[in-house]
Chains A and B, each alone.
Chain A
């Protein structure tokens, strides 16, 4: 069963198996019981497994969309329950786009007619520029993480804010809004700190984490209002 999320390793394994079959000495080995080495390419470990082009151009759109939704779902599960850090290595920006659109729409709809456009614009721009600047900041401080990967992680970590914005656009009572927003802010910040996990920032952990606090705080504050 081919796993279309990891086709790079799949192709490597196929070639290796073909070579083994042609080799008379090693062809006696049972191919299926050979241990699979994930995430290695010529002996080095792959940091990102972003698939670029290839076989997926021929498949029907339905299959592509289904695969994208599956990838988004996998990352969402990671955000909800961070156990397996491998998931975040193949980044995609679909999830952040959907979340930012939902947040902007939920914040713009309840407002008065004259403000709606400006609120949508400002919130959308704030989300994307904020994520880009936070990622740039982390990169400039010396972390060895790619910018798009950190944008991906920050975008997926704003999923709790999606929940809080949907809740706050329907309910007006203060005693529901405040705990929901505080809890979602804490969850989003905690999930986004995973971007700092594997980086080699020695004394600068707080310097890199503070912009994340600020970004999610400003988003949560606008959601609260």
Chain B
């Protein structure tokens, strides 16, 4: 049935019957079912409604690939996203970072409590502050970036900005998991090692952010581009210093 749809110019030589053509013109059914992606595109061309469910159409392989491309920023992240920004990655990576920060902070406090140096084994306030700092930073910074780009007529998608900042948080995960042994040693060298760890995490996420935001910001003009990149760097350095002082002491 499929051959009747792709009619080549010199197919008259190959055609045996003409009645099939009339039958074809009378009823135009679509024999094979439309793939859901094509159907979604057609639907979106007709009615541009977007639900949150659209931002969860990723598979496990997609998310893992995006995480790897965040940590090793060789390819352009927007190509990796392939015009399908998702909300799953940013949200759950941010949640994992919150839990990891609380985990690392509380395990050092617990061991110190066991050896008798401090009184209470953990403070639940650290979990609350981790939640507010990381969620707040990701949400506010991405909205500020999006607002800045919209103000300069770059037409970004909010979901892309949230995606970038959300996936950039993944660099704090190894930093927070490697800090507890150095916190427990509590010598001058371990202090310096902790600062080095934090700056490595800061460096990885900054490289990822700048490499992907630079082409986007260039559309705004050179002066504004430099301003926006400087703003991104300053905010991220502030975040790193806050995390170091609150959690990695």
Chain A interface residues toward B at CB < 8 A: 111-112, 115, 118-119, 122-123, 137, 140-142, 202-207, 210-211, 214, 217-218, 221-222, 225
Q: Are B56 and A142 in contact (CB under 8 A)?
A: yes
Q: A-facing mask of B34-57, CB < 8 A → 1, else 0?
A: 000000000000000000110010
How distant is A4 from chain B, measured CB to nearest CB, in Å?
A: 37
Given contacts A214-B95, A225-B110, are A115 and B123 in contact (CB under 8 A)?
yes
Residue of A nearest to B56 (CB): A140
* Interface residues of chain B: helix, strand, loop or mixed (majority): helix
Chain B interface residues toward A at CB < 8 A: 52-53, 56, 58-61, 63, 88, 92, 95-96, 99, 102-103, 106, 110, 119-125, 127-128
Given contacts A203-B60, A206-B60, are A115 and B124 in contact (CB under 8 A)?
yes
| B124 cross-chain contacts in A, Cβ below 8 A | 115, 118-119, 122-123, 222
A-B contact pairs, 19 of them (CB 8 A): A112-B119, A118-B128, A122-B128, A140-B52, A140-B53, A141-B88, A142-B53, A202-B59, A203-B59, A204-B59, A207-B60, A210-B92, A211-B92, A211-B95, A214-B92, A214-B96, A218-B99, A222-B124, A225-B106
Q: Are B63 and A112 in contact (CB under 8 A)?
A: no
How many angstroms between the C-alpha atoms of A206 and B88 in the bound complex?
12
Q: Are A225 and B121 in contact (CB under 8 A)?
A: yes
How distant is B172 from chain A, measured CB to nearest CB, in Å?
A: 15
| B110 cross-chain contacts in A, Cβ below 8 A | 225
Given contacts A111-B120, A119-B124, are A141 and B56 in contact (CB under 8 A)?
yes
Q: Are B56 and A214 in contact (CB under 8 A)?
A: no
How many angstroms between the C-alpha atoms of A111 and B88 in the bound complex?
35
* Cross-interface CB contact of A122 among B63, B99, B121, B127, cutoff 8 Å: B127
* Cross-interface CB contact of A217 among B58, B99, B123, B127, cutoff 8 Å: B99
Contacts across chains A and B counted by CB atoms under 8 Å: 56
| B59 cross-chain contacts in A, Cβ below 8 A | 202-204, 207
How many angstroms between the C-alpha atoms of A88 and B104 in the bound complex?
37
Residue of A nearest to B55 (CB): A140
How distant is A121 from chain B, measured CB to nearest CB, in Å?
A: 9
How many angstroms between the C-alpha atoms of A221 and B103 in the bound complex?
8
Residue of A nearest to B103 (CB): A221
Which of A111, A118, A137, A140 has the most chain B CB atoms closer than 10 A to its own CB? A140
Residue of A nearest to B88 (CB): A207
| B95 cross-chain contacts in A, Cβ below 8 A | 211, 214
How distant is A1 from chain B, measured CB to nearest CB, in Å?
A: 45
Given contacts A221-B103, A221-B106, A225-B110, are A205 and B127 in contact (CB under 8 A)?
no
Q: Are A112 and B88 in contact (CB under 8 A)?
A: no
Q: Are A115 and B120 in contact (CB under 8 A)?
A: yes
How distant is B149 from chain A, measured CB to nearest CB, in Å?
A: 27
How distant is A77 from chain B, measured CB to nearest CB, in Å?
A: 32
Q: Are B53 and A204 in contact (CB under 8 A)?
A: no
Residue of A nearest to B59 (CB): A203
How distant is A120 from chain B, measured CB to nearest CB, in Å?
A: 10
Q: Are A137 and B120 in contact (CB under 8 A)?
A: no
How many angstroms between the C-alpha atoms of A129 and B56 in the bound complex?
20
| B60 cross-chain contacts in A, Cβ below 8 A | 203-207
